[in-house]
Structure 1
């Protein structure tokens, strides 16, 4: 549980991406110019882009404007960045939208209730991270979808990426996945990251965050913040925190998506054999709550 109400800090350390480097003039003509450039790309080769993203190009103002804001309204740079992002979003792995229920049940990666500034947090419980080469690409796709859902919920207000390092060790650190998380937010959800909160960082793992900070541009380096059991309440009210961070929010962060599939169905789609499926199920079982692990899986 959190501290008593009279001891709870009134200070708000959370920040918003909307408070940084916003133009004080109308730049809609630049947004229209960028949109036309991308529409020309779409007309030239529509198969390179997903139908959903094509619709966003035509109708979603923020979907276009955020790339301009990321590169200080440079239309040429924004065009290159947006085109690359659209192609990435339409790649075979990233375009996956159905994931095994175990991805949800372990409660290691999810978006939750807003922070004190209205940012939507994405929680990553690092101690549950397992390097499973067989499913690494699919975990990246799942991570992308969780971030995308959080970004849609935020509606332009921003995302807070929370790394919970309670109980984590070096064996839980995956530098490739960490690099993917950071570059995904910066390059494919520009102007979406309000800050990264590193919670309960052990001193022996500080070198990891020194490296991770080097991956950030100069204007993003100051977005890395740190918290502990007391200062976490400067970012979140107790009622919006999950239980493992001392919060009282009752929303189930292990809730299944309506379109999730069984791990057996996923293995078939991913061309994994029975032995590989067994190894994956065994690794996931380590972090499944007992009452969840014993439940029968959904019917296929």
Structure 2
């Protein structure tokens, strides 16, 4: 996406990165944060890599100045909250190998090609989310891991798209806690990173629920949401760049298995603290959602 288009679509207080007032605000935020870090040394409750990135990457500061309408003090407090959250989530230690191979085989969450602006897209197949505590907790961490990878990799405004594929979505997939989590992450912990959130092929029987769910979404968040079906998705993503599993036309496989990942029977117990029954329930759920996946994920 070109800078001109970005600034035209954004709120009035978004200014070019070389704006003198913005640069002054960035410096003030960094001064306050450095004072804060110094007061806490040597026991900093934050990740060192996050602190270093704040000092070298303007976007990490700029995103919160845009979020607060250039309010330096408020931006500082929001950055502190983000630093605390990232530490609590142990995002510095999460790796592809921390999750079982079945998560990748299921194709529930994956990055695939680019949109019409050439920016990458993260897909979430909503039917794979289920309100079962032991599974939803692991899948949420899996999604946060992928979102963080996208956010950290590009470190610029509106750099990637998020698509929720609602095909196959049923009553057991309804999870307002999951919705609130996504809203919270995009607003407080990864602001100005996502360029849009696409709701793709929402079932007719969920339209009323979707209308009700919008009341939970802040006004600035609603601006990012686009509802598409197979006929209209081309406005944002060319079907040739979408995986066949959700109705796209790309011949490429959307499932990529990272090197070194282990089955749930191994990694689930070590990394996620699961027992044999938990592992069986997770594998059974993933296998029944998709015939092809059922052949891969043996239970």
Give the deviation of 1:167 after TM superposition.
Answer: 2.1
1:82 to partner: Cα distance: 0.8
Paired with 1:185 and 1:259, the residues of 2 have a C-alpha distance of 30
| d(CA) in 2 for partners of 1:17, 1:185 | 19
Q: Which residue of 2 aligns with 1:58?
A: 55
Change (3 A) 1:247 1:70: same
Aligned-partner SS, 1:276:
helix
User: Structure 1 regions of 5+ residues with no counterpart?
Assistant: 1-14
Rounded to whole Å, the distance in 2 between the matches of 1:93 and 1:261 is 20
Structure 1 residues 117 and 212, CA, compared in 2 at 3 Å: closer, same or farther?
farther
Select between 237-246 and 175-184 the one with higher mean Cα deviation. 237-246
For 1:18 and 1:138, how far apart are their aligned partners in 2? 39
Question: Where does the alignment leave 5 or more consecutive residues of structure 2 unmatched?
Answer: none
Q: Which residue of 1 aligns with 2:66?
A: 69
Match of 1:122 in 2: 122
**Tell me, what secondary structure is at the counterpart of 2:180?**
helix
Structure 1 residue 30 and structure 2 residue 25: aligned?
Answer: yes
Supply the distance in 1 between the matched residues of 2:236 and 2:155 (Cα, whole angstroms). Answer: 19
Contact 2:123–2:165 under 8 Å retained in 1: yes
CA distance in 2, matches of 1:141, 1:93: 10
Matched residue SS, 2:110: strand
Match for residue 7 of structure 1? Answer: none
Contact 2:121 2:160 (C-alpha < 8 Å) held by counterparts: yes
Q: Does the aligned pair in 1 maintain the 2:159–2:194 contact within 8 Å?
A: yes
Other-structure match for 1:109: 109
Q: Give 2:84's match in structure 1, choosing from 62, 84, 87.
A: 87
C-alpha spacing 1:122/1:18, structure 2 compared with 1 (3 Å): farther
Gap change, CA 1:137 and 1:246, over 3 Å in 2: closer
Say if 2:131 and 2:175, in contact at 8 Å, map to a contact too: yes
Q: Identify the residue that residue 241 of structure 2 maps to in structure 1.
A: 240
Mapped partners of 1:169, 1:16: distance in 2: 36
Which residue matches 1:227?
228
**TM norm structure 1:** 0.84
- The residue that corresponds to 1:275 in the other structure is 277
Match of 1:20 in 2: 10
Q: 1:82 to 1:134 in 2, by over 3 A?
A: same
Q: Give the aligned length.
A: 282
Question: What does residue 133 of structure 1 align with?
Answer: 133
More helix by share: 2
Contact 2:129 2:139 in 1 (8 A): no
Q: TM-score, normalised by structure 2?
A: 0.84
Once the two structures are TM-superposed, the CA of residue 92 in structure 1 deviates from its matched residue by 4.5
**Residue 121 of structure 1, CA deviation:** 2.0
Distance 1:85 1:251, change over 3 A: farther
Q: CA deviation at 1:243?
A: 1.1
* Per-residue deviation, residues 156-187 of structure 1 (Å, max 9, x unmatched): 24332211111211212221112111211121
Distance 2:231 2:189 in 1: 33
Change in CA separation of 1:51 and 1:269 when aligned onto 2, cut-off 3 Å: same
